[in-house]
Amino acid sequence: MYRETYLQIPGPTNIPKPILDALSSKAINHRGEEYASLMDFNIRSLKRVFKTENDILIFPSSGSGGLEASIVNTLSPGDKVVAINMGVFSQRYGLIAQAYDAEVIWIDVKWGEAVKPTQLAGVLESDINHEIKAVLLTHNETATAVKIDMQSLIEAINKVNHPALVFVDAVSSIAISDLPTDKLGIDIVVTGSQKGLMLPGGLAILSVSKRAWEAQRSSEMPKWYWDFKPLQERMRVGQMPYTPVISHFFALKVALELIEEETLEVVFERHKKNASALRSAIKAMGLQLLVKKESERSDAVTAIHLPDNIQYQSLASLLADEFNLIIGGGLQELKGKIFRVGHLGCLHKPEIIAIVSAIEMGLYKLGYDAVIGEAAKAAAHEFLA
């Protein structure tokens, strides 16, 4: 008998049926009027989701490709950039810059915590000659389930009056947590299709400010596929400089229509409530969260310490085999220490209740001293509050 799978990793996420249906749309001419019209709708709608009037660029790639594009189009070898090491993906942004011979100034943060505005301000304030060209920030670090306070960090940059460009990895926060691009003055925001936008992986989407375009004119890093300029020129006439993933553009239109129907602010609030309900259930089971500060906890994913007597693979296998629930494990230094539960995308109250109940039963079957029913009760009380 067929059963639905709960794909509760930090992304890719469960794909709603209307989006799945759109993915099976027939192929069309990617140089024709129908595709141009589709592109125009998606760009206009994406600007509302990003809260920006800046240019929107779309690469057929993963989110990591978008991060690489932000680096190679605006910087030159030897340029100084600030990167944060507070998890696998914030670290990745700096490593991409390093691979292109940028000089990376690292701010190391304990995994499970967020970078503080004072840490960033201190680095920028000491750069009296303004040699630092860009600051690389990750809004939501899925490896640790930490969300940074973007407004406070931008205020810290502005307070020291530093001219560095600000690039934000929002792969796991766009259409999940509020990120007002233009209000904050962010120069490049990068997201991917497989998280808040609820598609399969395959599209990297960027907003690019006027300041970033000015930097692009003097950038000397090598690029071809990732070059902003030819992509911008072709997108202006409703095309791309190479063959796009046409099915994804049909699916993206449906995803954006679903978000607009629900409204963006309600999407943000739903994610916050789902996260809060799941964490209430986790605490009711007597489990410990990796992220101690409530203000730093992600709206997309929760990281949970494994009980001493439970191995990650035992829990993950049991949940997959018996409950069709797929969870994520710890990465790098957190491997074997935590498990991660994604609560992003098209997820509502009944799914959260089912997910926490399955985790509770799984732990109980593995010998953890859980009281069956407490998790669902705690989540339900959170939803009713």
Nearest to 88 by CA among 144, 136, 146: 144
Burial class for 128, CB neighbours closer than 10 Å (0-12, 13-18, 19+): exposed
From CA 53, how far away is CA 182, in angstroms rounded? 7
Residue 111 DSSP code = B
Q: Which residues pair with 82 in a beta bridge?
A: 105, 135
Q: What are the tokens at 343? A: 């609560």
How many whole angstroms separate alpha carbon 202 and alpha carbon 66?
A: 11
Amino acid identity of residue 268, one-letter, is F
Beta strands 301-305 and 204-208: pairing type?
Answer: unpaired
Please give the structure tokens belonging to residue 32.
Answer: 């024709």
Task: Say what the pLDDT of residue 3 is.
Answer: 86
- The answer to whether residues 341 and 278 touch, using CB atoms and an 8 Å cutoff, is yes
> Quick check: 246 and 22 in contact, CB under 8 A?
no
What residue ranges of the chain are covered by domains with CATH 3.40.640.10?
17-260
For the chain, where are the alpha helices, taking DSSP H only? 17-23, 33-50, 63-72, 88-99, 117-125, 150-159, 181-184, 210-218, 228-235, 246-262, 264-284, 312-323, 349-365, 374-384
Whole-number Å distance between alpha carbons of 87 and 146: 9
Question: How many whole angstroms separate alpha carbon 371 and alpha carbon 375?
Answer: 8
Return the CATH number of the domain spanning residue range 17-260.
3.40.640.10
pLDDT in the model for residue 2: 82
pTM above 0.95, yes or no: yes
pLDDT in tens, the chain (385 residues): 788 899 999 999 999 999 999 999 999 999 999 999 999 999 999 999 999 999 999 999 999 999 999 999 999 999 999 999 999 999 999 999 999 999 999 999 999 999 999 999 999 999 999 999 999 999 999 999 999 999 999 999 999 999 999 999 999 999 999 999 999 999 999 999 999 999 999 999 999 999 999 999 999 999 999 999 999 999 999 999 999 999 999 999 999 999 999 999 999 999 999 999 999 999 999 999 999 999 999 999 999 999 999 999 999 999 999 999 999 999 999 999 999 999 999 999 999 999 999 999 999 999 999 999 999 999 999 999 8
Give domain 6-13+263-384's CATH superfamily.
Aspartate Aminotransferase, domain 1 (3.90.1150.10)
Phi, psi of 174 (to 5 degrees): -60, 135
Q: Give the CA angle between residues 137, 140, 143 to the nearest 5°.
A: 105
Structure tokens at 156: 């810290």
Q: Determine the straight-line distance between the first and last CA of the chain, rounded to whole angstroms.
A: 37
| The pLDDT value given to residue 377 | 98
pLDDT attached to residue 92: 98
Beta carbons of 75 and 157 less than 8 angstroms apart: no
Residue 82 pLDDT = 98
Q: Give CA–CA dist 374/385, Å, rounded.
A: 16
Residues of the chain with CATH 3.90.1150.10: 6-13+263-384
